[in-house]
Amino acid sequence: MPELPDVEGFRRVAKQAAHRQVREVRVHDAQVLRGVGSEAFQRTLRRRYLAEPRRHGKWLLIGTAGAANAPASPPVVLLHFGMTGNLQWCPHDAELHDHDRVVFDFAAGELRYRDMRKLTGIHLAREQDEVDDLLAGLGPDAQQIEAAEFGERLTRTRRRLKPALMDQSVIAGLGNICVDEILWRARIHPNRSTADLTDDDLDRLYREMRAMLREAVRVGRVPDGPSWLTGHRDEPDRRCPRCSTALRRTRIGGRSTLWCPTCQPD
């Protein structure tokens, strides 16, 4: 499932369309459009220029500007990638993929929204209030949150740590893989109660979150190299890359969870 680092990668893809005029929009599967029909979506965006994309949590926002007879309040395209979505920048002659659902056509190429399972999709907000409503339930972005607010939001209720970190209303952008990686780096068991976290725990969690995201954002995904926990998730004999202890897997908060019993004692 795309998480914050992946969506940062998609943001870099979308930057290739920034300041370019949309010649046309081709909707190959209207099921990925949310709250707007194909014709209205195409009509609204045709001949508009796309602005620099920005990200909040797992959402990508692309503003627009400049078109004949354009509304005073420029529409904003909001993309969510669900379990299998992504963005691709392709030349015009690239073969259409089976899962290319919406194609934005520019003189220099095409920006394609590709999604196999179509669990979420693309929204078109015509007013800023609509943008605010769509993002209203999100907490601060995990890359932007300050340490004090991180600790306050994480410990305001008594709950298990992993579900708290994955709760988008607490902190936006972290998913299953990111959270397992952060907790392993911080040497904290995923089943710990947030009420039991010490100031040292919170400081370590925050520092490791920032460091992990910084490295992952650089490559547009959570790396799966040998020094990362993520690199050992699918091995038949999963071993901790730090101490070589056999890794354990269970479900916490309904999600498959990987941890090291030596580095992350209960």
Residues contacting residue 95 through CB under 8 Å, at least 6 positions apart: none
Q: Is 47 a catalytic residue?
A: no
Alpha-carbon dihedral of residues 139, 141, 147, 149, nearest 10 degrees?
Answer: -20
Which entry of 3, 110, 181, 208 is annotated as an active-site residue?
3
Distance CA 262, CA 247 (A): 9
Look at residues 116, 120, 90 and name the one whose alpha carbon lies nearest to residue 105.
90
Catalytic residue among 20, 187, 255, 261: 255
Distance CA 217, CA 5 (A): 4
Per DSSP, what are the bridge partners of residue 104? 25, 111
Catalytic position from the list 11, 58, 101, 185: 58
Sorted by sequence, the CB contacts under 8 Å of residue 144 that are 6+ apart come out as: none
2 is a catalytic site residue? yes
58 is catalytic: yes
Write down the catalytic residue from 2, 5, 75, 163: 2
**Nearest residue to 224 (alpha-carbon basis) of 181, 173, 260, 183:** 181
Catalytic residues: 2-3, 58, 255
